[in-house]
Structure 1
Amino acid sequence: MSLTVKSARSRGGGRRGGILVLGLAPLAVLLALWQVFGTIAPSPFFPPPSAWIGALTPLLAGNALLLGILSTLGTYAESLAIAFVLGTAIGIAIGRSRLADRAFGPLLDYLRYLPAVAVVPVIVLFAGYTQEMKVYVVVFGAIWPILLQARMAAASIDPILNDVRRSLRLSRRAAFVKITLPSVMPSALLGLRLASPLTLILVLVVEISTQVSGLGRMLGVAQQNYATAQVFGLIVVIGVIALVVDAVIAAIERWTLRYRPAAD
């Protein structure tokens, strides 16, 4: 890698860090004002941020919070990985075949507009209130950004590359590895980036609605018990997890596409 590319990416990383700090500044100011006014005029519905930490202490003492985080993150990672593999494979298969695209296009258009939560009762019938049920529902909702991006990329591969394949006498497997997959992967990774926050949201919604273990269930229980400070504390925890997850996905995307030249 050239020094120019390294310096460009270093400047890009610095800009991203500065933008992140600048973006979090209003939130820090809001929390500071909330703390001041929440202490002066206490409200059971809007407790000050200092009360959120105290409300989370019982959950920290019994490792309940850690177990909830691990359960939610485990479902998130498993569901997103399955959605990425299935979405990319199905997208390539449909995008590379006009017949398959015409046959399955209307069905895909119907299913992708169907809310994932709407299939919860159906999946519960055969999977029960289990970890597997969460994964099935979340994969159903998270697969579409990846599948549609892969399908579009596979369908728009330059026909000249087919001539290259024939000229080099590449086998189908070699052509898939050397031509199709590199052509589709940037779009599939974009779909992964789009699907990542959706996946986390779906995990939390399913946990809240089905009361299966995880941060969503803890959030639902706190709301039912009118533990407002604990609700806000859990929301902060979820927000931090979302920021970390987004940074990890962005790093994976940059590492996977490291061979591409950096934009000016």
Structure 2
Amino acid sequence: MDILVDDPGHLRDLSARTLGGAELLDVDLPVKLRSWLTREFFPFHIKMYSKSRRKAPIYWQLATPLASYSVWLYIHAFTRDTMFRVQNDFVAPKLLLEQRRLGELEQEAGNRPTAAQRKEIDGQRKFVDELRAFLDEVRLVAPLWDPDLDDGVVINFAPLWRLVPQHKPWQTEVKKTWDELCKGSYDWSHLAMRLWPERVVPKCGIDRSLAIAHGLKDVFWVETRHDGWMARLQPTRPVDELIAERRSPAVAAALRGLLDAPVTTAGRGSRRRAGTGSTR
């Protein structure tokens, strides 16, 4: 299953699927399974799928800051539509459901709610606010999403750094990678070419390894009999044309939106821009 959720009663609820699988295989599970999956499984999984300095989790938990709602992705089932499916098929319907629930609670309480009703309404309102913010974050990144496993796990995860506030160490790591991507440290990657072709394409004319990585070796480089490879005096195709082929106005607009979007840093209302150098 490519997408699961931490959502009791949902057909793709992770806890229910895990219980079902454990019963078939006669496997023991933690007593408080949902809590364990929400809080402990992702750190445990990252540790399991780490070797030396390489970290490569294949199950990704995207969550609200308090992990009141999580979406789980499986890396080997990724498509370029995965984040749009998360947005349209899971988070948006969940938000609508919980908004209706909030309205029902407020209507039941009327003008003179009891202390218990006020507490329940306040909790539901906070949950709706978390879901709304989570949906906004998914909408920011969905147009940029086009995973390529050759880039590696951390680079593929980097644009999603705002969606893992429940796990600060991992968020810090992928945010650092995102900042380095923005600055040009990983221009060999598929993601860098997708987001910044105007920066990456010209570099292929001075760095043959980049040209090879992006399939532009013969455009910018020529093999000589005595000196090995040499940069062409003129590429075989215009650089502007190569950039235009790889530049999507929709992706460029989405990237500007992501970099300019405010990010909650500490407490409600404390926000800063999401460009390089910010923290969450």
Higher relative contact order (CA 8 A, sep 6+): 1
TM tier, smaller: under 0.3
Query: What TM-score does the superposition give when structure 2 sets the normalisation length?
Result: 0.26
**More helix as a share of residues:** 1
Structure with more strand by fraction = 2
Q: TM-score, normalised by structure 1?
A: 0.27
